[in-house]
Structure 1
Amino acid sequence: MNRPVVVGVDGSPSSLVAAEHAARAAHLRSRPLLLVHGYLHPFGYGVPLNPYDLGVPAPSAEAQKMLERTAAELTDRWPDLTVDVRQVTGGPGATLIEESRRAELVVVGSRGLGGFTGLLLGSVGAQVAAHARCPVLVVRPDEQPIPVDAPVLVGVDGSESAALAVGYGADEAALRDVPLVLTHVGPPEQDRSVPEEIEEAQAAYRADAVRLLADASGRARAAHPDLVVREHPIRAAGAAQGLIEASGTASLLVVGTRGRAGFAGLLLGSVSQAAIQHAHCPVLVAHPLN
Structure 2
Amino acid sequence: MHHVLLAVDGSKASLQAAWLLARLPYPSRYELTVARIIEVPPLPNPLRSAEVIDRHYRQEKYAAAETLAEVSAMFDGARVRIDNIIDRGPVGERLVQIGEQIGADLIVVGATGRSQISRILLGSVSDHVATHARCSVLVVRPRAIGERDQPLEICMAYQKDSPLALREIADIRWWSSTRLHVLSVLPFSEGMFAAPRDRAEVVGQYEADLDDARLQLAAVAPAIKMHLAENEHVGEEIVRFAEQRDIDVLVVGETQRDNLPRFLLGSTSRYVLRHAPCSVWIGRPALCKTNPEVSPAIQQSLAR
TM-score range for the pair, normalised by the shorter chain length:
0.7 to 0.9
Of 264, 267, 272, which aligns to 2:269? 272
SS at structure 1 position matched to 2:265: coil
Equivalence for 2:159: 157
- Report the Cα distance in structure 1 between the residues aligned to 2:273 and 2:220, rounded to whole angstroms: 30
Contact 2:24 2:174 in 1 (8 A): no
User: Are the structure 2 counterparts of residues 203 and 215 from structure 1 closer, same or farther at C-alpha, using a change threshold of 3 Å?
Assistant: same
Q: 5+ residue gaps in structure 2? A: 290-304
Give me the whole-angstrom Cα distance separating, in 2, the residues matched to 1:64 and 1:129.
26
Match of 1:138 in 2: 139
Shift of 1:75: 4.2
1:284 aligns with 2:281: yes
Change beyond 3 A, Cα 1:127–1:158: same
1:219 aligns with 2:220: no
Change (3 A) 1:41 1:20: same
State, as a whole percentage, how many aligned pairs show the same letter. 27
- Contact 1:257/1:272 (8 A) holds in 2: yes
TM-score in terms of structure 2 length: 0.72
**C-alpha distance in 1 between matches for 2:169 and 2:274:** 19
The Cα shift of 1:117 comes to 4.7
CA change 1:152–1:76 in 2 (3 A) is: same
Corresponding pairs, count: 265
Aligned to 1:191: none
- Equivalent position of 1:36 in the other structure: 35
Unaligned 5+ residue runs, structure 1? 189-193
Pairing 1:247–2:248 present: no
Distance 1:7 1:19 in 2: 7
- 8 Å contact from structure 2 (residues 92, 129) kept in 1: yes
Structure 2 residue identity aligned to 1:181:
H
Letter in 1 for 2:16: V
Change (3 A) 1:150 1:218: same
For 2:221 and 2:145, how far apart are their aligned partners in 1? 28
Q: Is the 8 A contact 1:23 1:33 kept in 2?
A: no
Aligned 8 A contact 1:257 1:287 in 2: yes
CA RMSD of aligned residues (A): 3.6
User: In the aligned structure 1, how far is the partner of 2:225 from the partner of 2:215?
Assistant: 11
Tell me, yes or no, if the aligned pair for 1:28 and 1:176 is still in contact at 8 Å: no
Return closer, same or farther for 1:88/1:72 CA change in 2, 3 Å cut-off. Answer: closer
Matched with 2:123 is 122
Secondary structure in 2 aligned to 1:60? Answer: helix
Cα distance in 2 between the residues matched to 1:136 and 1:267 = 13
Instruction: Report 1 or 2 for greater relative contact order, CA contacts < 8 Å, sequence distance ≥ 6.
Output: 2
TM-score normalised per structure 1: 0.75
Q: CA deviation at 1:181?
A: 2.2
| Deviation at residue 269 of structure 1 after TM alignment | 0.8
Is residue 105 of structure 2 the alignment partner of residue 110 of structure 1?
no
